[in-house]
């Protein structure tokens, strides 16, 4: 004990001459106590108050001295929580290594200039060192007063006992913290264990069951703890299981028992329950720790262990990537089934223990071989240098080359490189795949033997997986900040660990995904795991990658694993686009079949109608009023004929028939149809130049194109607007926007004042099935059909548009060198206007109408209802100069009939009439006439057929 009041200046060694204590080990001992900067605690406060009461001082402190500061765990009569070490009284007590009493600080040269003496008037100090079990003084319990004084022997002994109580509290806190951390580590390990685990107390009551037990059995803690776990056993096995457990608990010996355990779905499965006794450090009986393994498929314990090992190898064996490991000499120590399958090996025996060069023959992508010293895999195994090779050739055992990409990471233990683990994937099938876990066989084998060994093995395995897996692993705190990331982040996204740790995870998320990510973080905060959550993460180069996340919350942290699914997303989008295109194509095909059939039937119905009305007009039947009615009926029938032709054009049943057409007359004829289609909110403006020349085109197809463009324009003006259809002659020079060669053209222009298109939409506007109208509101074929028509005619289609300023579609058509054909009329009889004609058609009214037209032209007509009947008439010797036959009839078709007639009666001309022109089945050299037709059209076709006779 040192007492400045009892030791004279002549015998007291001045402080500035005293050696400073060895602060390194002492401060380390202080930090190991974990007491610094902890909140106040009542036990410490009570000890400080007791010291003040016993010593009769207004101030008492429990003080700890670090290198640069003095910090107070408990204070009485003192509001300061810490001071600089230079102003500390306690550091003198630490240097003295004993109780330090300063009766009057103003008489001690060490404290005359002390800030606490000058500013707070402290005159008395007595400090008892706080000494650890290994002899380090980490602080003091001290009393202070503002008047000079000293302590009596009783007070000194009390202060000494209080110092020991302070150290007991510190040791107790450290022991409790150590035990709590050990319990937390055990529970965390057990809750993530692949087997069910349990713990009992000395009385045999179950005090803990891991998470898998509750998931497996469906029990709650209230149902399972104590002896409730027996309720999950099969009724026939319960007595046996209970007896085994009670006997083992009484004898305090390990046990192993098989019984049937009820799963959450009610099914009973065989399980092995094995346990080891627990004893305290003093030998006291604590109970059992045990595990339960489902062994329904195999009863023997050895097989159950193999099943457990297989469980831990699941990721390794199921991955599509080849996985293998080599030692520093290049010998293969481990491989997975994907490795064997991809390289063609039948078993591991041909691989394990063999040199890498004997197992894998590889070369650079250009076929050149690696010198042994430059092999990236061996260099990694020898020097610890990771490598990533994106273009390499591996050779299978049959000699075939396999392009791969692979990664190699060193195996480092205790700072020493012991080999390398490598993953590779056949990039002809899939370039990015899962990496496999390695070396997991020993983990579960040790589970029922030594719990501590299992924990060590599992931690070692996880650490290795953290390094070698290509999946992104990370730990994120509750605020969304990265606490740890694995090396895959740099390999996949370019971000190093130094750049990410401490940074917000939201900094890397695509702005459109941030809101969803914050909602996911809230759910994690409610202890709800996430699986299959996807978002986009920014690469260091500025691009984005799609990741699929699995996140498990634990103790305020989020443990995350993410897989790159960018290519999967792209392939899925391509598949959905292809499936949508297929559905649209099938829908259009079905519509085309239905439309073509309906149009064919309409043509058959219209043929006798138009033929009859035409005859009435030509012969002038009826009064003037009746003639007007007949003319109106003919006009309606012709409109119906036009509608049917448009249906056939939609169904692709109408061949392209180019001729010189008058665009002005064609547009005028469509005004009523376009007006009714566009609706009252759209104002139609027609602007046809007076000098528009004839264009080379198919009138029906051009009508369909104009109608399609008009409908698109209407849809682009939901609130109404102006639709303009214009035609004018234009001269195209070199470099024109249409891409056409220089020449004179007719420009057909359809423009609107609607929403317009941006550049991206214009670039895709003519793609088949591309539409901006939404699902169910368009086929996406309108502009592509118009574009195809223009190209087929030798013209072009151009689009001029700007967002919010409307759209102008220009159809450029070549100018026709021919004159526009005049309407057909009968001006006289043809060269063979008399003769015998055979009319064949299975439709009675169509056949009758055609026969009347030919009879009116001067022919003697014989009718037949089928091709077979017509052939019978010809074979019987009936004189026939002309055959007019339908194409589609029951039995023999008109085409087959025409070929037969050409062969047997080559002098007899044949004219085929049909409801639509079946291009696939009609020979191009067979004369044909489309239904419905008037007598003038029939006369023209027959005249063209018989002129050469």
Per-residue model confidence (pLDDT) at position 459: 44
| Residue in this structure with the two tokens 């080990």, named with its chain if needed | 25
| Closest by CA position to 694, among listed 658, 738, 741, 732 | 658
The percentage of residues in the chain with a pLDDT greater than 70, rounded to a whole number, is 79
Q: How confident is the model at residue 930 (pLDDT cuts 50, 70, 90)?
A: confident
619-652 pLDDT, tens digit per residue, is 777 776 666 667 667 766 666 666 666 555 555 4
* Kind of pairing between the strands at 472-477 and 557-564: antiparallel
For range 304-333, the mean pLDDT: 73
d(CA 251, CA 213): 26
The predicted-structure confidence for 522-547, as pLDDT tens digits, reads as follows 888 888 888 888 989 999 898 999 99
Structure tokens at 638: 């012709």
Q: What is the per-residue DSSP string for 440-484?
A: -HHHHHTTTT-HHHHHHHHHHHHHHHHHH-SSEEEEEETTSBEEE
Specify the pLDDT at position 883. Answer: 92
Q: What mean pLDDT is reported for the chain?
A: 80
Q: Is 117 found in the same domain as 13? A: yes
Strand 544-554 to strand 530-538: parallel, antiparallel, or no bridges (unpaired)? antiparallel
Q: Specify if 654 maps to a domain.
A: no
Same domain, 12 and 157: yes
Residues 6+ apart with CB under 8 A from 948: none
Same domain, 326 and 275: no
Q: How far is CA 857 from CA 550, 648, 826, in A?
A: 85, 30, 9
Is 593 domain-assigned?
Answer: no
- Give first-to-last CA distance, the chain, whole Å: 147
Contact (CB, 8 A) for 492 and 470:
yes
Q: Give the helix/strand (H/E) hosting 128.
A: strand 124-131
Indicate the range of 96-100, 120-124, 815-819 predicted with least confidence: 815-819
pLDDT score of 826 more than 70 = no
Residue 452 has pLDDT above 90, yes or no: no
pLDDT at residue 673, rounded to an integer: 77
Domain end point (choices 177, 202, 224):
177
What backbone torsions phi and psi does residue 125 show, to the nearest 5 degrees? -145, 135
Residue 703 belongs to a domain with what CATH number? 3.30.565.10
Q: Half-sphere exposure (CA, 13 Å, Cβ side) for 777? A: 10
Pairwise CA distance, residues 199 & 202, whole Å: 10
Q: What is the pLDDT of residue 942?
A: 85
- Across residues 715-728, what is the average pLDDT? 88
The stretches of 549-686 forming alpha helices (DSSP H) are 566-619, 624-650, 663-678
Residue 623 lies in a domain: no
Domain that residue 325 falls in:
313-445
Q: Answer with the residue of higher pLDDT: 112 or 21.
A: 112
Give yes or no: residues 280 and 375 share one domain.
no
DSSP three-state, residue 110: coil
In the block, residue with structure tokens 């060590």:
456
* Cα→Cα distances 415→383, 384, 418, 419, Å: 12, 10, 9, 12
Q: Are strands 682-688 and 721-732 parallel, antiparallel or unpaired?
A: parallel
Cα angle for residues 738, 739, 741 (degrees, 5° grid) = 110
**Residue 92 CA neighbour count, 13 Å, CB half:** 26
Find residue 278's DSSP bridge partners: 287
Predicted pLDDT at 528: 83
| Nearest Cα to Cα of residue 14 among 117, 111, 82 | 111
Closest CA to 730 of 716, 713, 748, 712: 748
Per-residue pLDDT band for 795 (boundaries 50, 70, 90) equals: confident
Query: What pLDDT was estimated at residue 44?
Result: 92
Poorest-confidence range of 59-68, 256-265, 705-714? 705-714
Is 586 buried (19+), middle (13-18) or exposed (0-12) by CB count in 10 A?
Answer: exposed
DSSP state of 104: -
Q: What does the pLDDT read at residue 449? A: 40
Q: Is the pLDDT of residue 656 over 50?
A: yes
Domain boundary among 779, 814, 849: 814
C-alpha 923: how far from chain center: 53
Statement to judge: residues 248 and 328 lie in one domain: no
Residue 430 has pLDDT above 70, yes or no: no
Clarify whether residues 421 and 328 are in a common domain: yes
DSSP state, residue 265: T
Contacts 24+ apart (CB under 8 A), 83-86: 83/115, 83/116
pLDDT at 49: 92
Residue 192's pLDDT is: 81
Number of compact structural domains in the chain: 6
Q: Do 434 and 532 lie in a common domain?
A: no
On whether residue 161 sits in a domain, the answer given is yes
- Nearest alpha-carbon partner for 851 in 620, 615, 605: 615
Residues 935 and 918 sit within 8 Å (Cβ to Cβ) = no
Residue 445 pLDDT > 50: no
The 10 Å CB-count burial string (b at 16+, else e) for 470-500 is bbbbbbbeeebbbeebbbbbbebbebeeeeb
- Region 129-134: mean pLDDT is 91
> CATH number, domain at 17?
3.30.450.40
* CA 90 – CA 28 distance, rounded (Å): 18
Residue in 60, 2, 26 with CA at minimum distance from that of residue 130: 26
Structure tokens at 412: 């480092």
Question: With contact defined as beta carbons under 8 Å apart, do 61 and 164 qualify?
Answer: no
Helices (H), ranges, 344-390: 356-359, 376-383
What are the structure tokens assigned to 659, written together?
Answer: 């001729």
More confident residue, 782 or 737: 737
- Give the range among 215-224, 641-650, 700-709, 892-901 with minimum mean pLDDT: 641-650
Question: Any idea which of 47-56, 62-71, 176-185, 779-788 has the lowest mean pLDDT?
Answer: 779-788
User: What pLDDT is recorded for position 23?
Assistant: 79
Q: Is residue 390 part of a domain?
A: yes
Give the contacts of 515 (CB within 8 A, at least 6 positions apart): none
Number of H helices, E strands in the chain: 28, 35
- Is-contact 689 651, C-beta < 8 A? no
Same domain as 67, residue 142: yes
The Cα 727–Cα 689 span in angstroms is 6
Look at residue 839 and tell me if it is in a domain: yes
Domain-embedded: residue 41: yes
Residues comprising the chain, all counted? 949
Contact 884, 838 (CB under 8 A): yes
356 neighbors 459 (Cβ within 8 angstroms)? no
Q: Which residues pair with 290 in a beta bridge?
A: 198, 275
At residue 309, the pLDDT reads 59
Based on the domain organization, do 10 and 155 belong to the same domain?
yes
Contact present, 932 and 607 (Cβ < 8 Å): yes
- Do residues 126 and 99 make contact, with C-beta atoms less than 8 angstroms apart? yes
Based on the fold, state whether residues 29 and 90 are members of the same structural domain. Answer: yes
> Tens of pLDDT along 832-841?
457 899 999 9
Statement to judge: residues 857 and 806 lie in one domain: no
| 855: helix, strand or coil | helix
Give the highest mean pLDDT range of 438-452, 516-530, 621-635, 755-769. 516-530
d(CA 685, CA 164): 105
- Least confident range of 130-139, 586-595, 685-694: 586-595
- In this model, does residue 386 exceed pLDDT 50? yes
Q: Which pLDDT score, from 0 to 100, does residue 809 have? A: 87
- In degrees, rounded to 5, the angle at the alpha carbon of residue 813 between the alpha carbons of residues 807 and 818 is 155
Residue ending a domain, among 177, 208, 238, is 177
Runs of H (alpha helix) within 752-911: 759-764, 782-792, 844-857, 867-875, 894-904
Q: What are phi and psi of 655, to 5 degrees?
A: -70, 155
Query: Which pLDDT value is given to residue 189?
Result: 79
Window from 383-392, 608-617, 624-633, 886-895 with minimum mean pLDDT: 624-633
The residue whose two tokens read 């209802």 is 865
Question: At 489, which CATH number?
Answer: 3.30.450.20
Q: Is residue 167 located within the same domain as residue 200?
A: no
Lowest model confidence (mean pLDDT) among 254-258, 332-336, 816-820: 816-820
Cβ–Cβ < 8 Å for 849, 824: no
| Per-residue CA distances from 440 to 127, 185, 299, 413 (Å) | 57, 20, 23, 16
How far apart CA 105 and CA 40 sit, in angstroms, is 29
* pLDDT value of residue 261: 92
Cα atoms in the 13 Å half-sphere on the side-chain side of 742: 3
Q: How far is CA 224 from the centre of its chain?
A: 40
Neighbours of 440 (CB within 10 A): 21
Contacts 24+ apart (CB under 8 A), 534-543: 534/565, 534/569, 535/509, 535/510, 536/509, 536/510, 536/512, 537/493, 537/508, 537/509, 537/510, 537/562, 538/493, 538/507, 538/508, 538/509, 538/510, 539/493, 539/494, 540/493, 540/494, 540/495, 541/494
Among 323-337, 501-515, 587-601, the least confident range: 587-601
Considering the domain boundaries, does residue 381 fall inside one? yes
């Amino acid at each position: 004990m040192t007492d400045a009041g009892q030791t004279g200046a002549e015998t007291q060694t001045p402080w500035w001459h005293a050696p400073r204590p060895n602060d390194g080990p002492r401060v380390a001992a202080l930090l190991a106590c974990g007491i610094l900067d902890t909140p106040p605690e009542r036990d410490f406060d009570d000890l400080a108050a007791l010291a003040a009461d016993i010593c009769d001082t207004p101030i008492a402190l429990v003080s700890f001295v670090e290198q640069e500061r003095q910090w107070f765990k408990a204070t009485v009569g003192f509001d300061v929580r810490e001071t600089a070490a230079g102003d500390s009284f306690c550091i003198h007590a630490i240097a003295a290594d004993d109780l330090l009493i300063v009766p009057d600080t103003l008489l001690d040269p060490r404290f005359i200039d002390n800030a606490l003496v000058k500013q707070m008037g402290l005159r008395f100090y007595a400090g008892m060192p706080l000494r650890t079990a290994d002899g380090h003084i980490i602080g003091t319990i001290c009393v202070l007063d503002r008047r000079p004084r000293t302590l009596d022997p009783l007070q000194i002994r009390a202060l000494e006992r209080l110092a020991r109580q302070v150290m007991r509290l510190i040791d107790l806190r450290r022991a409790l913290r150590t035990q709590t951390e050990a319990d937390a580590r055990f529970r965390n390990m057990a809750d993530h264990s692949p087997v069910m685990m349990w713990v009992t107390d000395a009385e045999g009551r179950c005090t803990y069951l891991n998470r898998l037990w509750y998931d497996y059995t469906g029990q709650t803690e209230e149902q399972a703890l104590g002896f409730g776990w027996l309720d999950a056993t099969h009724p026939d096995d319960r007595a046996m299981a209970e007896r085994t457990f009670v006997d083992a608990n009484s004898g305090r010996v390990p046990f192993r028992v098989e019984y049937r355990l009820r799963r959450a779905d009610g099914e009973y499965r065989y399980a092995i329950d094995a346990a080891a006794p627990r004893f305290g450090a003093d030998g006291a009986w604590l109970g059992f720790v045990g595990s339960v393994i489902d062994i329904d498929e195999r009863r023997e314990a050895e097989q159950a262990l193999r099943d457990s090992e297989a469980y831990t190898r699941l990721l390794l064996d199921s991955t599509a990537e080849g996985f293998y490991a080599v030692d520093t000499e290049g010998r293969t120590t481990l491989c997975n089934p994907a490795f064997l399958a991809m390289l063609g090996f039948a078993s591991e025996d041909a691989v394990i223990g063999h040199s890498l060069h004997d197992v894998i023959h590889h070369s650079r992508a250009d076929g050149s071989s690696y010198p042994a010293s430059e092999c990236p895999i061996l260099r990694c195994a020898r020097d610890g240098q990771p490598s990533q090779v994106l273009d390499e050739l591996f050779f299978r055992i049959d000699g075939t080359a396999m392009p791969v990409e692979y990664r190699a990471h060193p195996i480092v233990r205790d700072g020493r490189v012991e080999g390398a683990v490598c993953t590779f994937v056949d990039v002809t099938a899939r370039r990015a795949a899962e990496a496999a876990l390695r070396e997991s066989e020993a983990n579960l084998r040790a589970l029922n033997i030594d719990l501590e060994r299992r924990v060590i093995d599992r931690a070692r395995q996880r650490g290795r997986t953290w390094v070698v897996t290509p999946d992104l692993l990370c730990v994120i705190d509750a605020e969304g900040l990265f606490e740890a990331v694995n090396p895959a982040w740099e390999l996949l996204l370019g971000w190093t660990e130094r750049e990410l740790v401490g940074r917000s995870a939201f900094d890397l998320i695509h702005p459109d995904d941030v809101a969803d990510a914050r909602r996911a973080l809230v759910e994690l905060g409610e202890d709800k795991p996430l699986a299959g959550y996807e978002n986009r993460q920014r690469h260091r180069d500025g691009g984005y990658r799609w990741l699929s996340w699995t996140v498990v919350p634990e103790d305020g942290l989020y443990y995350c694993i993410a897989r790159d699914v960018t290519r999967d997303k792209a392939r899925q989008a391509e598949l959905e686009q292809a499936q949508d295109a297929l559905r649209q194509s099938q829908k259009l095909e079905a519509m085309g079949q239905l439309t073509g059939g309906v149009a064919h039937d309409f043509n058959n119905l219209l043929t006798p109608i138009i033929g009859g009305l035409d005859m009435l007009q030509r012969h002038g039947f009826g009064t003037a009023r009746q003639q007007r009615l007949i003319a109106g009926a003919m006009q309606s029938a012709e409109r119906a004929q036009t509608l049917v032709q448009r249906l056939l054009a939609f169904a692709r049943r109408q061949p392209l028939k180019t001729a010189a057409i008058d665009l002005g007359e064609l547009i005028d004829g469509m005004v009523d149809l376009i007006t009714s289609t566009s609706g009252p909110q759209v104002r139609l403006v027609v602007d046809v130049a007076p000098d528009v020349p004839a264009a080379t085109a198919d009138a029906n197809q051009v009508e369909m194109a104009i109608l399609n463009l008009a409908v698109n324009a209407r849809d682009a003006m939901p609130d109404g607007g102006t639709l303009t259809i214009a035609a004018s002659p234009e001269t195209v020079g070199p470099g024109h926007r249409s891409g056409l060669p220089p020449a004179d053209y007719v420009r057909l222009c359809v423009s609107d004042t609607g929403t317009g298109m941006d550049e991206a939409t214009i670039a895709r506007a003519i793609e088949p099935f591309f539409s901006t109208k939404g699902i169910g509101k368009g086929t996406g074929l309108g502009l592509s059909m118009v574009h195809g028509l223009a190209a087929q005619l030798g013209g072009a289609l151009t689009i001029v548009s700007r967002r919010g300023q409307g759209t102008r579609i220009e159809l450029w058509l070549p100018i026709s060198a021919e004159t526009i054909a005049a309407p057909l009329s009968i001006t006289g009889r043809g060269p063979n206007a008399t003769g015998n004609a055979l009319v064949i058609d299975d439709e009675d009214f169509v056949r009758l109408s055609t026969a009347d037209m030919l009879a009116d032209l001067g022919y003697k007509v014989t009718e037949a209802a089928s091709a077979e009947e017509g052939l019978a008439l010809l074979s019987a010797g009936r004189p026939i100069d002309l055959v007019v036959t339908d194409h589609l009839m029951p039995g023999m078709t008109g085409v087959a009939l025409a070929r037969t007639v050409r062969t047997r009666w080559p002098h007899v001309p044949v004219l085929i009439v049909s409801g639509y022109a079946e291009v696939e089945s009609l020979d191009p050299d067979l004369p044909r006439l489309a239904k419905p037709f008037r007598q003038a059209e029939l006369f023209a076709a027959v005249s063209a057929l018989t002129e050469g006779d």
